């Protein structure tokens, strides 16, 4: 889709949001209107309704929208004064709140009219006439609750979602993809495969890792430690809490305080749950003097952090309040920045392509806006940091884009964006070049002339957090993890009780070779046990009956291939030996 086509469908989606508001007002004339923006693949609109509605009401609202489209209504906009808008929206409290805010900020106010019946506070981006909308290429999808402006302190509104495309075929393809997404949903598979759970007594956004999910975490962490050791990293461990002084020194208070948990008041001051690992690691660096001969120094840590996220934004493992990061901090000289950041990007490429087979990814260089208060000032430092990162990214040969206004307060950042097989894009990791830490923490090194100079700090986390990355992997593999990562690699199934001792001998030998085994000796039929093992997506199922026991063999079933025949256990172990570890 070229830019003009993209602009056209975006305008159509925006216009459909207005038509949705019109349709809801026809059903509920006293409804209060929130906002109705365009989102990926579609749109939504928020309402305060006089009575609840359900998804069963959506076909009726859709029918009303199609009727409005058929009327070939025109969209027209104009600039208005605050006094005019207050009069227009005198019965719409949410609009009045926006009008007051925009007027205080000195923003120009515009309204858009649809036909002769409906007018909305809107900055524009519409089609000219509803005849430009394909009535067969949109659908209202579902209803959800949403706090006004995302705050739990505000009223809960009813949000109606819709999708829209240029053609009916694109709409059908979208729903086909959604069906596939449901099959791969990490929350559903996480429950079915017994990977993780949540408990209301512990709190939302704080996952509990079950034995199978813990295998995923530990296998990835084990591999990461080996890789990072080869790439010159040293492992460190830091505590889960720290004094307020540390976060004032880092600048996270006040810049990041609203995303941190409230302080704990103790006898020697306020303590905070750790929301990021970097300030702690900086204290390790500065615990002793460093020479230019030592640099770069690379400290890595699987550090658990806690961030306060609004409950409405939590989503399984994708967005949590407690998570463990594959974190590291590289302390280097300015003339080492490009080379070290290039290595970081190559490490990402190794993980994504070589280890997990993820090929659809790109980098996003996030730049600051022109607001020195938000980004801790120091324009010269910002300029230099952006130049160094841009040079490294160009040398990497990897795809990247630039985005203004998304940088961290202490330096520009590079996000690695990965796309799943169902087309959903996620931020897999965030990497930053920090020029401010040296000043705030007095992080220096002694150069060859004996002078003290500040270091640059590279924050990197190729796998991001275990929680988010494993959620992606669950959906990427649809729960069918590669052999080395599978929580249960092999199951041994008995046909009857008389072969149990032989089956246990098989299982013990596999355990001796360090394979993860889950035998099933229950008195169920072998057909039922095979079906249940297949639903658990176990890579290999070994069936043991009287015939196998007499011949000293096993019957092997391989995931996605089915029955592969009988063979001696020694031959099977040799067959799977190369799948044991990615190293």
From residue 313, alpha-carbon distances to 26, 69, 267, 308, 320 in Å are 31, 34, 35, 10, 9
Reduced to 3 states (helix: H, G, I; strand: E, B; else coil), residue 80 is strand
DSSP code string of 2-44: -HHHHHHHHHHHHHHHHHHHHHHHHH-TTPEE----EETTEEE
Please check the confidence at residue 385 and state whether its pLDDT lies above 90.
no
Output DSSP code: residue 125.
-
As a whole-number percent, the residues of the chain with pLDDT over 90 amount to: 74
For residues 415 and 289, give the distance between their C-alpha atoms in angstroms, rounded to a whole number: 32
Q: Which residue in 159, 459, 460, 537 is the catalytic one?
A: 459
Q: Which residue in 327, 415, 434, 520 is the catalytic one?
A: 327
| Count of CB atoms situated within 10 Å of the CB of 62 | 17
- Is 278 a known active-site residue? yes
- Is 468 a known active-site residue? no
559, 560, 562, 567 alpha-carbon torsion, rounded to 10°: -50
Structure confidence by residue, pLDDT tens digits, 437-466: 898 999 999 999 999 999 999 999 999 999
For residues 304 and 445, give the distance between their C-alpha atoms in angstroms, rounded to a whole number: 29
Output DSSP code: residue 123.
-
Q: Which residue in 278, 321, 332, 520 is the catalytic one?
A: 278
Please check the confidence at residue 105 and state whether its pLDDT lies above 80.
yes
Structure tokens at 523: 């008195």
Q: Which residue in 32, 274, 307, 460 is the catalytic one?
A: 307
For residues 539 and 562, give the distance between their C-alpha atoms in angstroms, rounded to a whole number: 10
List of residues 6+ apart from 426 with CB closer than 8 A? 318, 417, 418, 419, 420, 468, 472
Delineate the domains of the chain, giving CATH numbers in brackets: 3-184 (3.30.980.10), 192-477 (3.30.930.10), 490-579 (3.40.50.800)
Reduced to 3 states (helix: H, G, I; strand: E, B; else coil), residue 432 is strand
- Is 327 a known active-site residue? yes
- Is 547 a known active-site residue? no
Reduced to 3 states (helix: H, G, I; strand: E, B; else coil), residue 492 is strand
pLDDT confidence of residue 251: 85
Residues belonging to the chain: 583
pLDDT confidence of residue 44: 97
For residues 499 and 521, give the distance between their C-alpha atoms in angstroms, rounded to a whole number: 9
Structure confidence by residue, pLDDT tens digits, 242-292: 999 999 998 888 878 888 999 999 999 999 999 999 999 999 999 999 999
Q: Is the peptide bond before 169 cis (omega within 30 degrees of 0)?
A: no
Instruction: Output 527-536 pairs: Cβ under 8 A, ≥24 positions apart.
Output: 529/493, 530/493, 530/557, 533/491, 533/493, 534/559, 535/192, 536/193, 536/488, 536/491
Structure confidence by residue, pLDDT tens digits, 15-41: 999 999 999 999 999 999 999 999 989
Structure confidence by residue, pLDDT tens digits, 172-219: 999 998 888 888 999 999 999 999 999 999 999 999 999 999 999 999
- Is 413 a known active-site residue? yes
Reduced to 3 states (helix: H, G, I; strand: E, B; else coil), residue 399 is coil
- Is 370 a known active-site residue? no
Q: How confident is the model at residue 409 (pLDDT cuts 50, 70, 90)?
A: low
Structure tokens at 456: 């640059």
Q: Which residue in 14, 413, 468, 553 is the catalytic one?
A: 413
Please check the confidence at residue 296 and state whether its pLDDT lies above 80.
yes
- Is 325 a known active-site residue? yes
Element of type H or E holding 269: strand 269-273
pLDDT confidence of residue 2: 42
Structure tokens at 53: 């509605």
Q: Which residue in 18, 95, 186, 325 is the catalytic one?
A: 325
pTM of this prediction?
Answer: 0.78
Which of 104, 155, 150, 96 is CA-nearest to residue 121?
96
Is the alpha carbon torsion for 368, 370, 373, 379 positive or negative? positive
pLDDT confidence of residue 390: 87
Structure tokens at 133: 């909308």
Please check the confidence at residue 346 and state whether its pLDDT lies above 60.
yes
Please check the confidence at residue 375 and state whether its pLDDT lies above 90.
no
Q: Which residue in 14, 321, 329, 348 is the catalytic one?
A: 329
């Amino acid at each position: 889709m070229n830019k003009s086509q993209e602009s056209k469908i975006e305008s159509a989606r925006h216009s459909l949001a207005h038509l949705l508001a019109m349709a809801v007002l026809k059903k509920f004339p006293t409804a209060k209107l929130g906002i109705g923006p365009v989102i990926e693949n579609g749109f939504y609109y928020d309402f305060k309704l006089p009575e609840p509605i359900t998804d069963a009401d959506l076909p009726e609202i859709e029918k009303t929208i199609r009727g409005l489209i058929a009327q070939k209504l025109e969209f027209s906009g104009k600039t208005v004064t605050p006094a005019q808008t207050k009069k227009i929206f005198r019965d719409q409290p949410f609009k009045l709140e926006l009008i007051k805010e925009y007027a205080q900020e000195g923003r120009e106010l515009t309204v858009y009219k649809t036909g002769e019946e409906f007018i909305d506070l809107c900055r524009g981006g519409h089609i000219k006439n509803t005849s430009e909308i394909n009535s067969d290429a949109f659908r209202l999808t579902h209803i959800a609750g949403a706090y006004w402006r995302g705050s739990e302190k505000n009223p809960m509104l009813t949000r109606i979602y819709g999708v829209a495309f240029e053609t009916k075929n694109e709409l059908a393809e979208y729903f086909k993809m959604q069906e596939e997404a449901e099959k791969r949903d990490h929350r559903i598979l996480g429950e079915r495969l017994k990977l993780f759970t949540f408990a209301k007594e512990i709190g939302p956004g704080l996952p509990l890792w079950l034995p199978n999910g813990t295998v995923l975490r530990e296998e990835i962490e084990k591999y990461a430690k080996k890789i990072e050791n080869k790439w010159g990293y040293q492992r460190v461990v830091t505590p889960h809490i720290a004094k307020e002084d540390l976060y004032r020194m880092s600048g996270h208070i006040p810049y990041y305080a609203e995303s941190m948990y409230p302080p704990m008041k103790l006898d020697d001051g306020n303590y905070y749950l750790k929301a990021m690992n970097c300030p702690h690691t900086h204290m390790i660096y500065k615990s002793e003097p460093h020479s230019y001969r030592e640099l770069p120094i690379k400290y890595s840590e699987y550090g658990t952090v806690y961030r306060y996220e609004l409950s409405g934004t939590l989503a399984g493992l994708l967005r949590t309040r407690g998570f463990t990061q594959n974190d590291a901090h590289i302390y280097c000289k300015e003339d080492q920045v490009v080379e070290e950041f290039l290595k970081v990007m190559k490490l990402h490429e190794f993980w994504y392509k070589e280890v997990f087979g993820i090929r659809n990814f790109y980098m996003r260089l996030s730049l600051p806006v022109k607001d020195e208060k938000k980004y801790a000032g120091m324009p010269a430092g910002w300029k230099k940091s952006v130049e160094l990162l841009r040079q490294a990214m160009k040398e990497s040969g990897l795809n990247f884009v630039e985005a203004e206004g998304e940088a961290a307060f202490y330096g520009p950042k590079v996000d690695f964006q990965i796309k799943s097989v169902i087309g959903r894009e996620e931020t897999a990791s965030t990497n930053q070049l920090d020029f401010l830490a040296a000043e705030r923490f007095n992080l220096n090194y002694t150069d060859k002339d004996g002078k003290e100079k500040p270091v640059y700090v590279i924050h990197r986390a190729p796998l991001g957090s275990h929680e988010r990355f494993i959620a992606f992997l669950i959906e990427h593999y649809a729960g069918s993890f590669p052999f080395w990562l599978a929580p249960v690699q092999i199951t041994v199934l008995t046909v009857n009780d008389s072969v149990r001792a032989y089956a246990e001998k098989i299982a013990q030998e596999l355990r001796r070779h360090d394979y993860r085994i889950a035998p099933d000796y229950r008195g169920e039929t072998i057909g039922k046990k095979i079906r249940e093992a297949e639903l658990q997506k176990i890579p290999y199922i070994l069936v043991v009956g009287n015939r196998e026991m007499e011949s000293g063999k096993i019957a092997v079933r391989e995931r996605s291939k089915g029955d592969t025949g009988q063979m001696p256990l020694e031959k099977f172990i040799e067959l799977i030996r190369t799948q044991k570890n990615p190293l």
